[in-house]
Amino acid sequence: MAAQLRALPTARYRKEDIHVTTILDEDATRANILGTLQTLSKRIRPTDDFILFIAGHGELLQGGRYAILMHDYDGRTDEVDNFIGKQEIIGAHRIMTALQRIPALSQTIILDTCHAGGVMDSLITDLYNARMSTLARRMGMHIYASASSMERALDGHKGNGLFTHTLLEGLRNNLEADRDNDKKVSVVEWGRFAKEKTAAIAKTLNHKQDPTIINFGRDRVVYELR
């Protein structure tokens, strides 16, 4: 994702201003992820744009609670209350708690996992409880979940998850992503493009996958078309 943003010749971001932190495979533990977000919260400024991209496994535990499964998750979904504090998952509420500490007023959260839409209830509740102030009204919080809470997200589509594939397509100087024909692609337009393309491609594969997109507050330009 960061590589694609850097490749845009008319991007909003200068290459030297894009700072990427990557956590992969066995390093993707609860402690590493939450610790990294805590570290970033001390470096990020309110004027920065923050993007959190998670591609992996997601599950709805008992009680309908969405969780991101870590590399060392053992597959059990029983006794949901005992799992909220476990080291092998990160629950939706814990994600929101970490995001509230990020001072950036522009945040884009991308979850390419099964059942990712299950994150919405917790995130939206916390968003309205914690951030509905004069400052929060001026922020941009954009949440892109690859599938509804009851759907599985397709993986292995041209080297990525299907949703990630369509998001990347939307960054490739894509005229179709520019819905208002102003020669710019905004965060809102980018999400709508990926949502529609994901659903359409999934249908051709005899699969139902309808991404859940929430845009709260201010939109912003991602890149200008050549």
> Do the domain assignments include residue 226?
no
Quote the tokens at residue 122: 């917790």
> Do the domain assignments include residue 131?
yes
> Do the domain assignments include residue 223?
no
Alpha-carbon distance 154 to 162, whole Å?
6
The position carrying tokens 């993707």 is 28
Alpha-carbon distance 151 to 134, whole Å?
36
> Do the domain assignments include residue 72?
yes
Cα dihedral across residues 175, 176, 181, 182: positive or negative:
negative
Domains of the chain: total? 1
Q: Are 140 and 83 in contact (CB under 8 A)?
A: no
> Do the domain assignments include residue 157?
yes
Sequence letter at residue 35: G
| Segment holding 42, helix H or strand E | helix 30-43
Tens of pLDDT along the chain (226 residues) come to 777 877 775 656 777 788 899 999 889 989 999 999 999 999 999 999 999 999 999 988 777 788 898 877 766 655 444 555 566 789 888 888 888 889 998 999 999 999 999 888 766 666 666 554 445 556 788 999 999 999 999 998 998 999 999 999 999 999 999 999 999 999 999 999 999 999 999 999 999 999 999 888 889 999 999 8
CATH number at residue 77: 3.40.50.1460
Strand order in the sheet with 65-69: 57-61, 65-69, 89-91
Quote the tokens at residue 115: 């059942």
What 8-state DSSP symbol labels residue 11? B
| Structural domain range at position 178 | 2-218
Indicate the burial class of 75 (C-beta count within 10 angstroms; 0-12, 13-18, 19 or more): exposed
- For the question of whether the overall pTM of this predicted structure is more than 0.85, the answer is yes
